Structure 1
Amino acid sequence: MTANRTTLKRAVAVGVALLVVASLGAGTVASLTQDEGNAQVRVAHMSPDAPAVNVQVDGETAVEDLEYSDVTEYLDLSAGDHDVTIVTAENETAVFEGQVSVEANEKYTVMAAGEVSENATEEFQVTVLSDATEAPTGNQSSVRLVHASPDAGPVDVTFQQSGDAVADNATFGNATDYTTVEDGVYTFEVRPAAEDNNGTVVATFNESLLEGNAYTGFVAGYASPEDAPANESLSLFLEIDVNGTEQAAETTEMVEETTTVEMDGEEEETTTEA
């Protein structure tokens, strides 16, 4: 789900945090405290009929060869307005040109969705989503869903285990609020939107939600792939927005480093007095 093929380059002058991001595994994030003044931004390719694309930020290539269902790791981007251009990787035909605004110490997903084919049910578009910045506490997990299926229409998504809705009458291009649940394995049931969330189930997806993590699930692909310009069935692509375990480990490491520096200072001072 997360692109291992994607080559990430610097979109702006980046500090230590980007080096940390590049060294982590798929879908993980770095601590926001490492680079004050920057936002963290990732890119999600959820257009099922679009080819691989490159993403340019302020005239420089930030992401290369991003394919359908790929989601990059988080990149540091200076706060403010940025010109974003999305071009096809093969011949650099522009499919989107626009401006994206980000704030310092916030996290965002820039999602490309819709269709590039003629007679598109949903036109190709870029949506900027605000992501979670803090991990759930205790044995809790949190998850939100983003509707990125061009032909599914409004949908409800419920947990099979409880019947609770994680998405109620969700429409294309929009994200739900985060829902907090206990960690565990959940079956997501996708249905056409109905007043009581009791429509016929058209797809089910089993996913593990781990404690301390916040997730975004992209509901993408086609509900009727046989009639679509690309044979991409309805799928759920789950990505980690906040990895609580790693975030806690990074905080502990920072505290330990600070303590070590203070202790070293005391030891040097004692030696000098002696």
Structure 2
Amino acid sequence: MFKRVKNWTANHFKSWMALSMIGATLSLSSCFNDDDLQETPPAGYVLIYQGSPDAPSMDVYANQNKVNNYPISFTEGINYSPFYTGERAFKFTSNNSLSSLLEKNFTIKEDSVYSLFVMDKVAQLDAVLIQDNWSEPTADASQLRLVHLSPDAGNVTLEISDIEGNFVDDLAFGEASEFDGLSPDIYNLTVKSENSGEVLVTATNIELRGNSVYTLILRGLKTNANNETKLDLQMITNYINY
């Protein structure tokens, strides 16, 4: 496994942003424009993910400034973007509405990298800001963490084929495991209930590549879900060391 190095990404990450290669993922859409590539004041970098299964499409504001170009629906979000440092007031509203679904303050530190996850059912909507600390990527290793965003799945474990023991143990709703190292390969992933051992969801033939940092998201509902909100796994790429 990897030694975890806090905030190693300050210079590497800004250089990577300049190349517009931020958090590549099929489901996340960028909010960058040409102005974002110019010299900017001190900033932290935040990825925003909408993980509330029954919430409407959202707009996101930081200190009254709209963050997104397009509505953010369940399982969608905004790639890493620069945010001014200090305490920022985040507001989440229904698309094209000023009526707030959630307002919450988070502190952004200079040259730090974060993921902000909107979570829980809309009646209890919440958000959590997690600092993204990974080790410097190398060609002979991938890095992976699990984020638990399913309101009714209970505490979970993550098993990975060919890996002895659980890759993640006893992860509670709203929590994220640390990034850990894996050899680049194709794996089968199994999420189980910590209490009963029941298999909750699986994903097969998942390729993890070297020089890459990934987040595996457990999202959706175990019960009373439709096809769009059922319990499932989603992989996003946080960083690639080109």
TM-score, normalized by length of structure 2? 0.80
RMSD: 2.8
Instruction: Write the distance in 2 (CA, Å) between the matches of 1:19 and 1:142.
Output: 23
Structure 1 or 2: more strand by fraction = 2
Question: Which of residues 74, 89, 108 in structure 2 aligns to 1:68?
Answer: 74
Residue 44 of structure 2 is aligned to residue 44 of structure 1: no
The answer for the alignment partner of 2:35 in structure 1 is none
Conservation of the 8 A alpha-carbon contact between 1:17 and 1:76: no
The answer for the alignment partner of 1:250 in structure 2 is none
Distance change in 2, residues 1:208/1:18 (3 Å): closer
Instruction: Write the distance in 2 (CA, Å) between the matches of 1:59 and 1:159.
Output: 42
Conservation of the 8 A alpha-carbon contact between 2:220 and 2:229: yes
Question: Which of residues 49, 56, 81 in structure 1 aligns to 2:61?
Answer: 56
Gaps of 5+ in 1: 1-14, 118-122, 246-274
The answer for the alignment partner of 2:239 in structure 1 is 242
The answer for the alignment partner of 1:261 in structure 2 is none
Residue 134 of structure 2 is aligned to residue 100 of structure 1: no
The answer for the alignment partner of 2:153 in structure 1 is 152
Instruction: Write the distance in 1 (CA, Å) between the matches of 2:51 and 2:167.
Output: 20
Instruction: Write the distance in 1 (CA, Å) between the matches of 2:58 and 2:147.
Output: 21
The answer for the alignment partner of 1:267 in structure 2 is none
Q: CA deviation at 1:202?
A: 2.3
Residue 199 of structure 2 is aligned to residue 193 of structure 1: no
- After superposition, the C-alpha distances for 1:138-195 in whole angstroms (9 at most, x for unaligned) are 410110001000110111111133243222111100001112110111111011104x
Conservation of the 8 A alpha-carbon contact between 1:159 and 1:189: yes
Instruction: Write the distance in 2 (CA, Å) between the matches of 1:25 and 1:153.
Output: 28
Letter in 1 for 2:86: G
- After superposition, the C-alpha distances for 1:221-271 in whole angstroms (9 at most, x for unaligned) are 1122xx2488511111111122112xxxxxxxxxxxxxxxxxxxxxxxxxx
| Secondary structure at the counterpart of residue 100 of structure 1 | strand
Aligned residue pair count: 217
Conservation of the 8 A alpha-carbon contact between 1:58 and 1:83: yes
Conservation of the 8 A alpha-carbon contact between 1:144 and 1:179: yes
| Secondary structure at the counterpart of residue 190 of structure 1 | strand
Tell me the percent identity.
20
Letter in 2 for 1:241: N
Conservation of the 8 A alpha-carbon contact between 2:59 and 2:95: yes
Higher relative contact order (CA 8 A, sep 6+): 2
TM-score, normalized by length of structure 1? 0.71
Conservation of the 8 A alpha-carbon contact between 1:132 and 1:242: no
Q: How does 1:1-274 map to 2 (within 5 A)?
A: 20-21=19-20, 26-27=24-25, 37-63=42-68, 64-117=70-123, 123-132=124-133, 134-194=135-195, 199-206=197-204, 207-224=206-223, 227-228=224-225, 231-245=228-242
Instruction: Write the distance in 1 (CA, Å) between the matches of 2:211 and 2:143.
Output: 8
Structure 1 or 2: more helix by fraction = 1
The answer for the alignment partner of 1:251 in structure 2 is none
The answer for the alignment partner of 1:8 in structure 2 is none
| Secondary structure at the counterpart of residue 110 of structure 2 | coil
Instruction: Write the distance in 2 (CA, Å) between the matches of 1:101 and 1:54.
Output: 20
Instruction: Write the distance in 2 (CA, Å) between the matches of 1:116 and 1:181.
Output: 35
Distance change in 2, residues 1:203/1:137 (3 Å): same
Conservation of the 8 A alpha-carbon contact between 1:49 and 1:230: no
Conservation of the 8 A alpha-carbon contact between 2:23 and 2:236: no
Q: CA deviation at 1:211?
A: 0.3
Distance change in 2, residues 1:165/1:155 (3 Å): same
Gaps of 5+ in 2: 1-13, 33-38
Instruction: Write the distance in 2 (CA, Å) between the matches of 1:103 and 1:77.
Output: 9
Distance change in 2, residues 1:231/1:71 (3 Å): closer
Larger radius of gyration between Structure 1 and Structure 2: 1
